[in-house]
A and B are shown apart, each in its own frame.
Chain A
Amino acid sequence: MKLNLEKMNGYSVLFIQAERIDAHNSGELKEYILDMIEQGEINIIVQLELVRFIDSSGLGALLSGYKNTAARSGKLALSNLQPQVLSMFELTRLNRVFEIYADLNEAFENEP
Protein backbone atom coordinates (compact mmCIF):
# COMPACT_ATOMS: atom_id res chain seq x y z
CA MET A 1 0.00 0.00 0.00
CA LYS A 2 1.38 3.39 -0.94
CA LEU A 3 1.32 5.88 1.92
CA ASN A 4 2.58 9.46 2.06
CA LEU A 5 3.36 11.13 5.35
CA GLU A 6 3.55 14.91 5.69
CA LYS A 7 3.93 17.18 8.70
CA MET A 8 1.30 19.92 8.51
CA ASN A 9 0.08 22.38 11.18
CA GLY A 10 1.41 20.26 14.04
CA TYR A 11 -0.17 17.08 12.71
CA SER A 12 1.28 14.03 11.02
CA VAL A 13 -0.96 13.71 7.98
CA LEU A 14 -1.06 10.27 6.44
CA PHE A 15 -2.31 10.27 2.85
CA ILE A 16 -3.61 6.84 1.83
CA GLN A 17 -2.64 6.40 -1.82
CA ALA A 18 -4.87 3.41 -2.46
CA GLU A 19 -8.47 2.99 -3.58
CA ARG A 20 -9.09 -0.05 -1.47
CA ILE A 21 -8.32 -1.02 2.15
CA ASP A 22 -9.10 -4.66 2.82
CA ALA A 23 -7.64 -7.66 4.65
CA HIS A 24 -4.85 -7.85 2.07
CA ASN A 25 -3.28 -4.49 2.96
CA SER A 26 -4.87 -3.40 6.27
CA GLY A 27 -2.17 -5.18 8.30
CA GLU A 28 0.45 -3.03 6.60
CA LEU A 29 -1.54 0.14 7.36
CA LYS A 30 -1.95 -0.85 11.00
CA GLU A 31 1.78 -1.54 11.41
CA TYR A 32 2.70 1.74 9.72
CA ILE A 33 0.48 3.75 12.07
CA LEU A 34 1.78 1.86 15.13
CA ASP A 35 5.36 2.62 14.02
CA MET A 36 4.48 6.31 13.72
CA ILE A 37 3.06 6.28 17.25
CA GLU A 38 6.14 4.45 18.57
CA GLN A 39 8.24 7.27 17.13
CA GLY A 40 6.19 9.85 19.00
CA GLU A 41 3.83 10.93 16.24
CA ILE A 42 0.65 10.88 18.30
CA ASN A 43 -1.40 13.57 16.55
CA ILE A 44 -2.39 11.96 13.29
CA ILE A 45 -4.87 12.78 10.55
CA VAL A 46 -5.55 10.01 8.05
CA GLN A 47 -6.54 11.56 4.70
CA LEU A 48 -8.84 9.13 2.88
CA GLU A 49 -9.73 11.09 -0.27
CA LEU A 50 -8.62 8.36 -2.68
CA VAL A 51 -10.15 5.49 -0.73
CA ARG A 52 -13.29 4.14 -2.42
CA PHE A 53 -13.59 0.98 -0.36
CA ILE A 54 -12.87 -0.09 3.21
CA ASP A 55 -13.73 -3.41 4.86
CA SER A 56 -13.95 -4.45 8.52
CA SER A 57 -10.21 -5.07 8.78
CA GLY A 58 -9.51 -1.55 7.46
CA LEU A 59 -11.82 -0.07 10.09
CA GLY A 60 -9.98 -2.21 12.64
CA ALA A 61 -6.57 -0.87 11.54
CA LEU A 62 -7.76 2.73 12.00
CA LEU A 63 -9.38 1.88 15.34
CA SER A 64 -6.09 0.37 16.50
CA GLY A 65 -4.35 3.65 15.67
CA TYR A 66 -7.07 5.63 17.40
CA LYS A 67 -6.77 3.62 20.61
CA ASN A 68 -2.98 3.78 20.65
CA THR A 69 -2.87 7.56 20.13
CA ALA A 70 -5.58 8.08 22.76
CA ALA A 71 -3.57 5.96 25.23
CA ARG A 72 -0.72 8.46 24.78
CA SER A 73 -2.99 11.52 25.07
CA GLY A 74 -2.84 12.11 21.34
CA LYS A 75 -5.48 11.60 18.68
CA LEU A 76 -6.11 10.05 15.32
CA ALA A 77 -8.66 11.91 13.19
CA LEU A 78 -9.96 11.24 9.68
CA SER A 79 -10.59 13.54 6.74
CA ASN A 80 -11.96 13.52 3.18
CA LEU A 81 -14.12 10.40 3.45
CA GLN A 82 -16.07 9.39 0.35
CA PRO A 83 -19.80 8.90 1.10
CA GLN A 84 -19.83 5.09 0.91
CA VAL A 85 -16.74 4.90 3.14
CA LEU A 86 -18.37 7.26 5.65
CA SER A 87 -21.45 5.03 5.66
CA MET A 88 -19.31 2.14 6.98
CA PHE A 89 -18.29 4.29 9.97
CA GLU A 90 -21.96 5.16 10.53
CA LEU A 91 -23.09 1.54 10.33
CA THR A 92 -20.57 0.52 13.00
CA ARG A 93 -21.15 3.76 15.03
CA LEU A 94 -17.41 4.44 14.66
CA ASN A 95 -18.35 7.94 13.47
CA ARG A 96 -18.99 8.60 17.20
CA VAL A 97 -15.47 7.46 18.05
CA PHE A 98 -13.37 9.24 15.42
CA GLU A 99 -13.25 12.95 14.75
CA ILE A 100 -14.20 13.08 11.07
CA TYR A 101 -13.52 16.22 9.00
CA ALA A 102 -14.67 17.19 5.52
CA ASP A 103 -11.13 18.22 4.58
CA LEU A 104 -7.74 19.04 6.06
CA ASN A 105 -8.52 22.74 6.49
CA GLU A 106 -11.44 21.87 8.72
CA ALA A 107 -9.23 19.41 10.63
CA PHE A 108 -6.54 22.09 11.16
CA GLU A 109 -9.08 24.40 12.82
CA ASN A 110 -8.73 22.08 15.81
CA GLU A 111 -5.20 22.29 17.16
CA PRO A 112 -3.55 19.06 18.23
Chain B
Amino acid sequence: MCSSDIQVDVIIPTQTKYLDLIGSIGERIGKDLETFEGDREALAYHLNLVLTEATINAIKHANYKNTEDTVRITIQIQEDAVIIKVYDHGQGFDLENVPVPDFENPKEGGMGIFFIKTLMDSVTYTRQDDCNVLEIVKYLK
Protein backbone atom coordinates (compact mmCIF):
# COMPACT_ATOMS: atom_id res chain seq x y z
CA MET B 1 0.00 0.00 0.00
CA CYS B 2 1.50 3.34 -0.96
CA SER B 3 1.55 6.17 1.53
CA SER B 4 -1.32 8.08 -0.10
CA ASP B 5 -3.79 5.23 0.46
CA ILE B 6 -6.41 5.51 3.18
CA GLN B 7 -8.33 2.64 4.69
CA VAL B 8 -11.48 2.96 6.78
CA ASP B 9 -12.35 -0.17 8.76
CA VAL B 10 -15.71 -0.33 10.59
CA ILE B 11 -17.37 -3.16 12.52
CA ILE B 12 -21.08 -2.80 13.38
CA PRO B 13 -23.67 -5.00 15.05
CA THR B 14 -26.17 -6.50 12.60
CA GLN B 15 -28.72 -3.73 13.16
CA THR B 16 -30.27 -1.46 10.54
CA LYS B 17 -29.80 1.69 12.62
CA TYR B 18 -26.13 1.70 11.59
CA LEU B 19 -26.91 1.97 7.87
CA ASP B 20 -26.95 5.77 8.08
CA LEU B 21 -23.48 5.81 9.65
CA ILE B 22 -21.99 3.50 7.02
CA GLY B 23 -23.66 5.27 4.10
CA SER B 24 -22.65 8.68 5.41
CA ILE B 25 -18.99 7.63 5.57
CA GLY B 26 -19.21 6.64 1.90
CA GLU B 27 -20.93 9.90 0.96
CA ARG B 28 -18.29 11.95 2.72
CA ILE B 29 -15.47 10.03 1.06
CA GLY B 30 -17.09 10.54 -2.34
CA LYS B 31 -17.36 14.30 -1.88
CA ASP B 32 -13.66 14.52 -1.03
CA LEU B 33 -12.34 12.42 -3.93
CA GLU B 34 -10.51 15.14 -5.81
CA THR B 35 -8.98 12.73 -8.31
CA PHE B 36 -12.44 11.82 -9.63
CA GLU B 37 -13.14 13.76 -12.80
CA GLY B 38 -16.86 13.00 -13.05
CA ASP B 39 -19.86 14.26 -11.05
CA ARG B 40 -18.65 14.08 -7.46
CA GLU B 41 -22.12 14.71 -5.99
CA ALA B 42 -23.45 11.73 -7.91
CA LEU B 43 -20.46 9.61 -6.88
CA ALA B 44 -21.04 10.56 -3.23
CA TYR B 45 -24.70 9.47 -3.47
CA HIS B 46 -23.73 6.24 -5.23
CA LEU B 47 -21.14 5.32 -2.57
CA ASN B 48 -23.73 6.05 0.14
CA LEU B 49 -26.27 3.87 -1.69
CA VAL B 50 -23.91 1.00 -2.47
CA LEU B 51 -22.59 0.85 1.11
CA THR B 52 -26.17 0.97 2.44
CA GLU B 53 -27.32 -1.82 0.11
CA ALA B 54 -24.24 -4.00 0.68
CA THR B 55 -24.53 -3.60 4.47
CA ILE B 56 -28.26 -4.42 4.64
CA ASN B 57 -27.55 -7.39 2.40
CA ALA B 58 -24.92 -8.61 4.86
CA ILE B 59 -27.25 -7.96 7.83
CA LYS B 60 -30.01 -9.97 6.12
CA HIS B 61 -27.63 -12.83 5.42
CA ALA B 62 -26.20 -12.76 8.91
CA ASN B 63 -27.05 -15.30 11.52
CA TYR B 64 -30.04 -13.79 13.33
CA LYS B 65 -29.75 -16.28 16.18
CA ASN B 66 -26.43 -14.82 17.15
CA THR B 67 -27.17 -11.40 18.63
CA GLU B 68 -23.48 -10.70 18.85
CA ASP B 69 -22.96 -11.17 15.13
CA THR B 70 -21.26 -8.28 13.35
CA VAL B 71 -20.70 -6.96 9.85
CA ARG B 72 -17.28 -5.63 8.95
CA ILE B 73 -16.93 -3.02 6.25
CA THR B 74 -13.64 -1.75 4.86
CA ILE B 75 -13.24 1.10 2.42
CA GLN B 76 -9.87 1.53 0.73
CA ILE B 77 -9.24 4.77 -1.08
CA GLN B 78 -6.53 4.49 -3.69
CA GLU B 79 -5.43 7.05 -6.22
CA ASP B 80 -7.41 5.45 -9.01
CA ALA B 81 -10.08 3.41 -7.23
CA VAL B 82 -12.31 2.98 -4.19
CA ILE B 83 -12.46 -0.62 -2.98
CA ILE B 84 -15.28 -1.61 -0.62
CA LYS B 85 -15.35 -4.97 1.15
CA VAL B 86 -18.29 -6.15 3.22
CA TYR B 87 -17.80 -9.29 5.32
CA ASP B 88 -20.74 -11.37 6.57
CA HIS B 89 -20.93 -14.60 8.55
CA GLY B 90 -24.08 -15.94 6.91
CA GLN B 91 -24.66 -18.78 4.48
CA GLY B 92 -23.91 -16.66 1.47
CA PHE B 93 -25.73 -16.28 -1.83
CA ASP B 94 -24.99 -16.72 -5.53
CA LEU B 95 -24.18 -13.26 -6.86
CA GLU B 96 -24.21 -14.39 -10.50
CA ASN B 97 -27.75 -15.74 -10.21
CA VAL B 98 -29.37 -12.68 -8.64
CA PRO B 99 -32.04 -11.83 -11.25
CA VAL B 100 -32.14 -8.45 -12.98
CA PRO B 101 -35.28 -6.54 -11.89
CA ASP B 102 -38.28 -6.86 -14.19
CA PHE B 103 -38.76 -3.21 -15.15
CA GLU B 104 -42.09 -3.86 -16.86
CA ASN B 105 -43.55 -5.44 -13.70
CA PRO B 106 -41.61 -3.78 -10.89
CA LYS B 107 -41.49 -5.54 -7.55
CA GLU B 108 -40.79 -4.20 -4.12
CA GLY B 109 -37.56 -6.09 -3.55
CA GLY B 110 -34.50 -7.21 -5.44
CA MET B 111 -33.08 -3.85 -6.48
CA GLY B 112 -30.15 -3.66 -4.06
CA ILE B 113 -27.71 -5.89 -5.95
CA PHE B 114 -28.88 -4.27 -9.21
CA PHE B 115 -27.81 -0.86 -7.86
CA ILE B 116 -24.42 -2.18 -6.79
CA LYS B 117 -23.76 -3.89 -10.13
CA THR B 118 -25.02 -0.95 -12.17
CA LEU B 119 -23.32 1.91 -10.34
CA MET B 120 -19.96 0.30 -9.61
CA ASP B 121 -17.30 -1.15 -11.94
CA SER B 122 -16.65 -4.60 -10.45
CA VAL B 123 -18.49 -6.79 -7.93
CA THR B 124 -17.46 -10.21 -6.60
CA TYR B 125 -18.71 -12.37 -3.73
CA THR B 126 -16.35 -15.02 -2.39
CA ARG B 127 -15.93 -17.29 0.60
CA GLN B 128 -12.86 -16.54 2.73
CA ASP B 129 -12.09 -18.60 5.83
CA ASP B 130 -15.12 -18.24 8.14
CA CYS B 131 -16.91 -15.45 6.26
CA ASN B 132 -18.14 -14.21 2.89
CA VAL B 133 -16.73 -11.10 1.25
CA LEU B 134 -18.62 -8.84 -1.13
CA GLU B 135 -15.94 -6.83 -2.91
CA ILE B 136 -16.97 -3.75 -4.85
CA VAL B 137 -14.63 -1.60 -6.92
CA LYS B 138 -15.26 1.87 -8.33
CA TYR B 139 -12.54 3.21 -10.62
CA LEU B 140 -11.93 6.91 -10.42
CA LYS B 141 -10.30 7.41 -13.82
Point out residues on A near B: beta carbons under 8 Å.
20, 22-24, 53, 55-57, 59-61, 63-64, 84, 87-88, 91-94, 97
> Residue B34 at the A interface, CB < 8 A?
no
Using CB atoms, name the residue of chain B closest to A62: B108
Interface flags for B21-32 (1: CB within 8 Å of A; 0: not) read 001000000000
> Contact between A91 and B108 (Cβ–Cβ < 8 Å)?
no
> Does the CB pair A64–B108 fall under 8 Å?
yes
> For this complex, into which size category does the number of interface residues on chain B fall?
20 to 34
Q: Mark B64-103, 1 if CB is under 8 A from A, else 0.
A: 0000000000000000000000000000000000000101
Say yes or no: B17 contacts A92, CB within 8 Å.
no
Pick the residue among A57, A59, A61, A84 that contacts B56 (CB under 8 A): A57
B132 lies within 8 A of chain A by Cβ: no
Q: Which residue of A24, A56, A84 is within 8 Å of B112 (Cβ)?
A: A56
Contacting residues, chain A, for B56 (C-beta < 8 A) = 22-23, 55, 57
A24 near B42 with CB under 8 A, answer no
* Contact status B20-A22, CB under 8 Å: yes
Chain A residues lying within 8 Å of B53, measured Cβ to Cβ, are 55-56
Q: Are the C-beta atoms of B106 and A23 separated by less than 8 Å?
A: no
Point out residues on B near A: beta carbons under 8 Å.
Answer: 16-17, 19-20, 23, 41-42, 45, 48-49, 52-53, 56, 101, 103, 106-112, 114-115, 118-119
**Contacts known (A57-B56, A60-B109); A24 close to B16, Cβ less than 8 A:** yes
Closest 7 CB pairs of A and B: A60-B108, A56-B111, A24-B16, A93-B103, A84-B45, A23-B56, A56-B112
A-B contact pairs, 8 of them (CB 8 A): A22-B20, A23-B19, A55-B53, A57-B109, A63-B106, A63-B107, A84-B41, A93-B106
